[in-house]
Amino acid sequence: MLELRDVDVFIDASQILRKVTLSAGESEAICLVGRNGAGKTTTLRTIMGYRRPAAGTITFKGEAIGGLPTHAIAARGIGFAPEDSGVFADLSVAENIEIATWTRPGGRPAAERLALAYEIFPRLRGYAARGGAQLSGGERKMLSIARALALDPDLLVLDEPFEGLSPAIIPLIGESISAITRLGRTIVIAESNIHHVPAWTRRLYVIERGEIIFAGTLDEAHRDRAVLRVIGGRAS
């Protein structure tokens, strides 16, 4: 469904990504893991059109999307929840979610998409009238993912969905994301902590200094001493 092949990205004169190659198949959940500054967010933002590849290709459902504007990529069915959540502080929870139905007006009726977003994140239903600025960090993460889901995407791109959250809220958000995978949506997650990678993740990629240095299963990553050293785990 999604494939990056030999993608290079520069910011000003600095090369941030070097021949990044990864893929996510239909109904598959993959995770991109790396330290802060390794290139995770740049990879996701390049998928979403915020950055233009200097070389390489990005395809979604067989169509080249590298360099397309962000709104065009979203309209093709890719939802994005950024690391900072991107919640509109001056809008209510309900309005934040509804915006996604305007961004991609085709497909399923808006009412069905909104109902699904609240089904996956039922806590938000009780906060529908609350302003975005009145939410906790965990609630903003929920809202950001719910808004991306209301786009009715085939692919969800989630940047650090568990970062900075209390241990009590991480399992709740993890179960909600798992429920989305059971709907058959493809999910790409970026994470800096391998211990936050959900067990149901199909494949794992490790990025270091803008390069993919490992591709395999979560179990294989835990057995790889070099990988654990890079991403802050402990090699036994």
Strands (E), 62-147: 63-64, 78-81
Residues 4 and 23: beta-carbon distance below 8 Å:
yes
Inside any domain, residue 59: yes
Phi first, then psi: what are they for 48, rounded to 5°? Answer: -85, 0
Total of domains in the chain? 1
Q: Can you give the pLDDT at residue 232? A: 66
pLDDT value of residue 228: 83
Assigned domain for 235 exists: no
CATH number at residue 165: 3.40.50.300
Whether residue 179 is contained in a domain is answered as: yes
Whether residue 123 lies inside any domain: the answer is yes
Print pLDDT tens along the chain (236 aa).
999 999 999 999 999 999 999 999 999 999 999 998 999 999 999 999 999 999 999 999 999 999 899 999 999 999 999 999 999 999 999 999 999 998 887 778 999 999 999 999 999 999 999 999 999 999 999 999 999 999 999 999 999 999 888 888 888 999 999 999 999 999 999 999 888 888 889 899 999 999 999 999 988 988 888 888 887 654 43
Residue 82: give the domain boundaries. Answer: 2-230
Domain assignment present for 146: yes
Classify residue 236: in a domain, yes or no. Answer: no
User: Are the C-beta atoms of 187 and 158 separated by less than 8 Å?
Assistant: yes
How far apart are alpha carbons 184 and 86 in whole angstroms? 25
**Domain contains 187:** yes
Determine, yes or no, domain membership for 24.
yes
Pairing outcome for strands 203-208 and 29-33: parallel
